[in-house]
Chain A
Amino acid sequence: MKPGTKLKSAVCSTEVMVIRSAGGQIECGGAPMAETKPAEAGALSPEHSNGTLMGKRYVDADNKYELLCVKPGKGSLSVDGVPLSVKDAKPLPASD
């Protein structure tokens, strides 16, 4: 998946921009994400329903995937079924 690609959730309003990715399946709410939304929204998996937050970056444990949430929603993000977590960024003082 090319950096900059925007992916939409098939089950909720979540949209992400890909910053970094590998060959795995990127999912939201348990369903694969794609560049276009399906005509009808799928069902949100209860196991993947912690929600996404606007402007947060989500990463996997190996740092192979990084997604920026550009529209929040009810589903949570995963790759091949493994949940992603919010990237922990130390706040920096404003420098410009």
Chain B
Amino acid sequence: MNITLFLEMAADAAPDRVGLVCDGKRWTYAELLSAARGAFELIEASDCDHVALLDESSEAAVIALFGAALAGVPYCPLNYRLPDTDLAALLGRIAPALVVGDEERVTRLADDRGHTIYAREDFTIAVQEASPTAEEREYDAEGGIAIQLFTSGTTAAPKAAILRHSNLLSYILGTVEFGSADEDDAALVSVPPYHIAGISALLSSIYSMRRIVMLPAFSPEAWLTLAEAEKVTNAFVVPTMLSRIIETLDKGMNADLSGLRAIAYGGGKMPLELIHRALDLFPETGFTNAYGLTETSSTVALLGPDEHREAHTSSDPKVRARLGSVGKPLPTVELEIRDEEGRPLPSGQPGEIYVRGEQVSGEYKERSVLDAQGWFPTRDAGYLDEDGYLFLSGRADDVIVRGGENISPGEIEDVLLGHPALADAAAVAVPSIEWGEAVGIAVVPREGHDAPSPEELRELIRARLRSSRVPDKVLVVKELPYNEMGKLLRREVKTLLST
């Protein structure tokens, strides 16, 4: 099995149909396939172990993804927002790689690692020149590993999550009907290429033959302009993007979105106010909430358009509450809630979410975390209601998810504990309309010291970490709540911060 099959089928069924638009350039399915075959030649000649992308979204993401698949080499898109030290470590772990994108950074950070580096434009030209004239080149049909994605690495070094061709094939065949899109359909892809949603969007769009309209870097203005210009019919956004799009419309920007039939969202918690607002603002649009993880090849549960409308207008509190759920598991996925001992829990009881299915990899380069029966512990907490709707209640291990970015409380607490006037500190998620979740901190001043001002603490975190780690809320307390085992009771800290 090999995911290149998707592109081959699209190119077979409609070679001259436009499959992708990026920066005004249009690529047909036949051109994309030919470019991917050219990429295979470059990959083979470079003798690399991985194909990496260090760049914003562009046609190069599609070409590199399928070129790597043809060559039987894992495709490994990297987060270009990572600081130099973190990126250098990852570039070391995938060496030798064929890297497409930021030539300057790769050269500066990993010059001695044997990487083959192409700037985006050079790669796009080279793959077209390298494309074989004879169709009868032997391509890898076995598959093996298709994708290697580094997790955010909140507590330890980032883990390399692995998706096999068989996982992705099961996911796409189970959720998408081949060639089901109309010729005018277009999907606006604005999630970064190193996010699982950015990869599954490419695969789903190509298999359904829905034209991909790529937005290399998200801004609400650019999103609205492109959606109108390309008469976009489908889009996937993270909640933060939707919030900023609506804000921009509120400020008076005009955009004709009458063709926008479907908006799917996921990647973080959707504030209830925001989804109600969006449903009012786009009455003709179908909304789908998708829940999934990198390790599950994207979506494992979804709340569909009809369920959104029903919940939005219902007077039954139970039905209304479903807007805060992530819907029901896919028919091809099994899902259970389990307690800390791994025993299945009945509906209504919160616990850890476990999933099983052919699309679920649950595998890292170092080891698989599937249990003996093939179940994957997601480390997400949640419960199922009596009708089977899944409600999430955060990460099992308290990671703060701000606008789709995972933030470990530990890294913030470590910085705070370095302050001479602080004796103790806790960072937890606080609700945020803009980001879904944001950082809140509770700090305990040292005896004989005055508490530092909130501004001073924000500045400290901004300087030491990143702006996304800067707390929205700062609370000074006499002591933090601990249980008898000395474990910090984060839930109680959250309660303190929300009152």
Contact = CB atoms under 8 A, between A and B. Distances in A.
A34 interface: no
A92 B179 contact: no
Interface string A40-56: 00000000000000111
B178 A19 contact: no
B208 interface: yes
Overall SS of chain B's interface: mixed
Contacts of A89: 174, 177
B173 A94 contact: no
Nearest to A57: B173
B175 A92 contact: yes
Given A54-B179, A55-B178, A57-B173, A96 B1 contact: no
B106 to A, nearest CB: 29
Contacts of A57: 173
Interface stretch (B2-10, B30-38, B363-371): B2-10
Given A3-B166, A4-B141, A96-B290, A91 B5 contact: no
Interface string B166-185: 10000001111111100000
B143 A94 contact: no
Given A6-B141, A55-B9, A96 B264 contact: yes
Contact of A94 (B5, B178, B234): B234
A93 B302 contact: yes
Overall SS of chain A's interface: loop
Nearest to A69: B178
Interface stretch (B61-69, B196-204, B274-282, B460-468): B196-204
**Residue of A55, A56, A89, A96 contacting most chain B CB atoms (<10 Å):** A96
A36 interface: no
A6 B12 CA distance: 15
A68 B178 CA distance: 10
B304 interface: yes
Contacts of B141: 4, 6
Q: How large is the interface on B (under 10, 10 to 19, 20 to 34, 35 or more residues)?
A: 35 or more
A56 B141 CA distance: 20
Nearest to A56: B178
Given A3-B166, A17-B1, A94-B234, A70 B9 contact: yes
B5 A70 contact: yes
B330 interface: yes
9 contacts: A4-B165, A54-B13, A68-B173, A70-B5, A93-B262, A93-B302, A95-B266, A95-B302, A96-B200
Given A17-B1, A91-B180, A96-B264, 9 more contacts: A4-B143, A54-B12, A55-B179, A90-B331, A91-B177, A93-B288, A94-B234, A94-B288, A95-B292
Interface of A: 3-4, 6, 17, 19, 54-57, 68, 70-71, 89-96
Interface of B: 1-2, 5, 8-9, 12-13, 141-143, 165-166, 173-180, 187, 197, 200-201, 204, 208, 210, 234, 236, 262, 264, 266, 286, 288, 290, 292, 298-299, 302, 304-305, 330-331
